[in-house]
Structure 1
Amino acid sequence: MPFRVMLSRAAGFLCIITISLLQPHKVQAQLSFGGYAGSHYAGIHGVPSNPASAAATHYKWDVNIGGLDASVGNTYARFPRSIILHPPDSTGAMKRNVNYFLDSAANPGKKQFGWGNMDVMMPSVLYSIDENQSVAFTWRIRAMGNVGNVKTDVANFFGLDFPNKQLIGQNYDMELANGSFHWWNEFGFTYASVIKDDGEHRLKGGVTLKLLSGIAAGYAQVEGASFVMNAAHSADITRGTMKMGYSQGLNDWEKPTLSNYKMFGNLGFGMDLGIVYEWRDEVDGLQGYDDDQWNPEADDYRMRLGVSITDLGGITYKKNPNSKDLDLRTTGIDPSNIGIKKGEGWQQYYRRISQYFTPIASKDKFTMNTPAALNVMLDYNVDGRIFVNAKGVMALTSGKSDPSKTYAMTQLQVTPRIDGQHFGAYLPLEINAHGQFDAGVGFRAGPLVIGSSTMLSNLFQKNKNRMDGFIALRIVPIRFGQTKLGCPAAQF
């Protein structure tokens, strides 16, 4: 789907919710690689979560050939498995309570959210300078969309038989509702090193400096809006403003979508910072690897604690002049006029919609922040083969004060795992800020990593509102020679 269409739906959804018109099509970052990224065998795939993890690993080098991590979800609508596997030709053909089910009975004040995230790791490499220092290069192509803060009563106004004559005369307030999307390219240059090592305690630090290039971005935020539907084709908006912007490049969008990818357009800068502390005692199982394995005692820890701040930075875009901030106050507006009409282009749409509202002066540029997050990870070594990992992600930006942001999702994940030199199995259990619980499964077999953080929970849910998956292929220096006795982890 072209990104300008995605913006159309997100912006239209917010408009609608404020003004009274379209139907909500819901489209934040997810914990990457479902518990596997916290493994001491993650190598290059652990660097995006914490750059310090690159230092003092078992790998002299580690190359990612290609990887994909994607997720999508929302809190308002659920869909049966049949629709997910065989989607209809158009959304207009979908029937409520047959093809989708809405959270219409929720507390009217409850806020509804939607998100989508895709992270493609292109060829990337980690190289150990020596037993203490490492460098890494990561190339990622990322896309993220957020819609949220929409109260259930407002979502129901547009989602339940709109225009519903039973709702005529009722007032609706929307203090804040926002949506954004961002598609960007990212080159990361990482340096990590052991800062202190006295045998029992080891401290590692790392930094990733990023060169960012923006491909497409857009946002819309409704603030302080109140509206009432007087009749099926007449509504009054008594207060409210909409801040909106999208990048100039969307006006010249080409098909296919990938033809719009530019490696060095709209330059920006970013950074990740991280530290890792390891406490060691005598740990049977992670000692006694083959002498020819690089840095064989690299991960001889009983407990490991990591803290990092990721995705600091942003990209500045030239704002398309047609995407204006608007004073939404108006009377007698027909909600159907706010939607994009069939065959209508972007310039035509914004020229037409601006006639219904009063434009507000705004800057000709905007900065789309990347999804900054605080990451805290605790990894406990049970017996050298069995580990328990806990990781929390706290979003540091939410888009409320500045609408031109993409933002991470606050969540907690606990992953029991079996990890060996050539094989790993992962059972991620997670709960997010919206109270949604998921269970998944992941596997690492030699160079292949595959799994999903929602696979197990989705197997037992008749109707679904979120899903994710990840897959990656690596080149790692694997040796299948003889191993020393008393080394269970090396037997995998």
Structure 2
Amino acid sequence: MNILRLLSVLLFLLLSLPFLGHSQSYIGNTLDNNSGVHSLLLNPANVVGSKTKFEFNIISASAFVGNDYLGVDFRDLKNIGDGFSFDSDVAKTPTDRNNFFGNADVLGPSVMFRLNEKSSLGINTRVRTFFNIHNISGLFYESISEGFDSQSDFQTEMEDLSGTVHAWGEIGLTYGRIILDDETSRLKIGTTLKYLGGAGGLFTSSPQLSAAFNSQAGILTTGGTLDYGYTSDFDTENIEFTDFTGGFGADFGLVYELRAKSGVTSDSLYTLKPYKFRFGISVLDIGAINYQDITEFNYNMNGSVSVSEFDEKDIEDVLNDNFQGTEVIGNRSLGLPSSLQGFIDYSVSKKFFLSMHGAFSLRDASTFKANNIINTISVTPRFESKWLSIYSPFSLRQYQSGIMWGVGFRSGPFMIGSGSVLSNLLSSSSKSTDVFIGFKVPIFKD
């Protein structure tokens, strides 16, 4: 396990996930009043007062990946499928502070159901993988990933470099309760308590790292310090969930609905009444997983090395042979991607809605040994009915220029969508993409 493995797995995920067809997460779907279990991923208070009295999720998967260094032309997927090249298939925007990020989210067998008029319960199983790398030189990244053979001279100064890959599973128990329900208002609160099973991770960090490449001499000169480490037996090429490290996490949320008096249709507190305006706020992914026997290295990077050594040795041997370093084995925590999420949902008519959703990381990009989400603001018009919903989100994403535009739909037990598919098909240089798909069994109220 080494720093090159970290860089290579980021590149692999960045380039392969979009083309294999594998969201911060399920973009557009979680605001649907009929989305059931998936709405709990946005706000656990959604478990109560749902339009479904029972729902069983069979399997759902969502993925989100992006960067601010290279852009892909999705309009030419056939040629890209024949083989990917840094030189001809991408548009590059190198800086000293490029960023790469993504996540995969698989929601396994999960249920939600009503307990009584004022409370509901949900149980979910989930497997997640996150990766982030922040403030890395794009040219340095490309050289490490592709080799130095065709690289021209460059010089770069990187500050607050950080990167984390982390995979874990979750078993979540969600409870929600209506604490206010009258003719004009409804207030719901909810929480999800999670048992976490860590499959492992790796991380790297440097407060300052310089690199200068002399192509004629074939020499890479570096300066500064470099930390990296990994959990016991973690392999990015073969992530296994057979030997978990336990931990705990939590989500908290509330949802407020405002109705006109004419919307009251029953004296029952639990009977759904149309809302005109809905607001929700939640804090998600509080917690961390504490791993034992993490191997962590610290290197003084002041020195020079022939790039031919990268062809003959792995990166650990290159570092050990050319730089002074120390190794420490101990217990470390890897933090979850904690975030603050909020939404506003306006009912234009009985079946047409307009919503705004904001997702903001509570982890700074430079936080060591923790993942973070990408700050996003989305506006989504949607049509929804019991058996069919169609939504088209427009999003502004951190590290991205321009508006991301997507479309998705839910038809009975099946859902599919993307928050970026339409903008990717219109752009010649797409720098992020996402997609989701799922199958479930909803049982609606009469």
TM-score interval (norm. to shorter): 0.7 to 0.9
Where 1:309 maps in the other structure, the secondary structure is strand
Do 1:143 and 1:183's aligned partners in 2 also have CA atoms closer than 8 Å?
Answer: yes
Residue 425 of structure 1 corresponds to 390
Read off the aligned partner of 2:291 and give its amino acid letter. Answer: Y
Q: SS of the residue aligned with 1:47?
A: helix
Give SS of 2:28's match.
Answer: helix
Are 2:91 and 1:101 aligned?
Answer: yes
Distance in 1 between the 2:396 and 2:254 partners? Answer: 25
Mapped pair 1:300 → 2:279: no
Q: 1:116 Cα deviation (Å)?
A: 2.1
TM-aligned CA distance change 1:361 to 1:157, over 3 Å:
closer
2:234 is paired with a residue whose SS is helix
Alpha-carbon RMSD across the aligned residues, in angstroms, is 3.2
1:488 aligns to what?
A: none
Q: CA deviation at 1:75?
A: 1.5
Distance (Å, rounded) in 2 between the aligned partners of 1:49 and 1:408: 13
> Which residue in the other structure is 1:487 paired with?
none
1:48-447 correspondence to structure 2 within 5 Å = 48-81=41-74, 84-85=77-78, 94=85, 96=87, 98-104=88-94, 108=95, 111-151=97-137, 162=148, 167=153, 171-230=155-214, 232-237=217-222, 239-250=223-234, 257=238, 260-262=240-242, 265-282=244-261, 297-321=271-295, 323-330=296-303, 332-338=304-310, 341=313, 349-360=315-326, 362=328, 364-402=330-368, 404-436=369-401, 437-447=403-413
SS of the equivalent of 1:221 reads strand
Deviation at 1:194, TM superposition (A): 0.7
Q: CA distance change for structure 1 residues 228 and 25 in 2, over 3 Å: closer, same or farther?
A: farther
For residue 203 of structure 1, report the CA deviation from its aligned partner: 1.1
Unaligned runs of 5+ in 1: 15-22, 482-492
Q: CA deviation at 1:11?
A: 4.1
How far has the Cα of 1:186 moved from its partner? 0.5
Aligned partners of 1:224 and 1:240 also within 8 Å = yes
Conservation of the 8 A alpha-carbon contact between 1:122 and 1:138: yes
Question: In 1, distance between residues paired with 2:384 and 2:143?
Answer: 50
1:364 aligns to what SS in structure 2? strand
Q: Secondary structure at the match of 2:281?
A: strand
Amino acid of the residue matched to residue 241 of structure 2?
Y
8 Å Cα contact 1:71/1:468 also seen in 2: yes
Match of 1:467 among 421, 430, 433: 433
- Is the 8 Å Cα contact of residues 132 and 371 (structure 2) preserved in structure 1? yes
How far is the alpha carbon of 1:160 from its aligned partner? 11
2:73 partner letter:
P
Q: Please show how residues 10-29 of structure 1 align to structure 2 within 5 Å.
A: 10-11=6-7
Residues 449-468 of structure 1: pairs in structure 2 closer than 5 A = 449-468=415-434
Q: TM-score, normalised by structure 2?
A: 0.87
The structure with the largest alpha-carbon Rg is 1
CA distance in 2, matches of 1:455, 1:81: 9
TM-score, normalised relative to structure 1:
0.80
Structure 2 counterpart of 1:51, one-letter code: P
Aligned to 1:489: none
Q: Which has the higher strand share?
A: 2
Q: Which SS does the other structure have where 1:63 is aligned?
A: strand
Deviations 1:233-255 (A, max 9, x none): 22332x3111111111226x8x8
8 A Cα contact 2:377 2:396, kept in partner: yes
Q: Alpha-carbon deviation of 1:362? A: 4.1
The 1:24–1:154 alpha-carbon spacing in structure 2 relative to 1, beyond 3 Å, is farther
Taking the aligned partners of 2:77 and 2:293, their CA distance within structure 1 comes to 36
The residue number in structure 2 matching 1:19 is none
Unaligned runs of 5+ in 2: 16-22
Output the CA distance in 2 between the equivalents of 1:362 and 1:395.
30
8 Å CA contact retained: 1:417, 1:426: yes
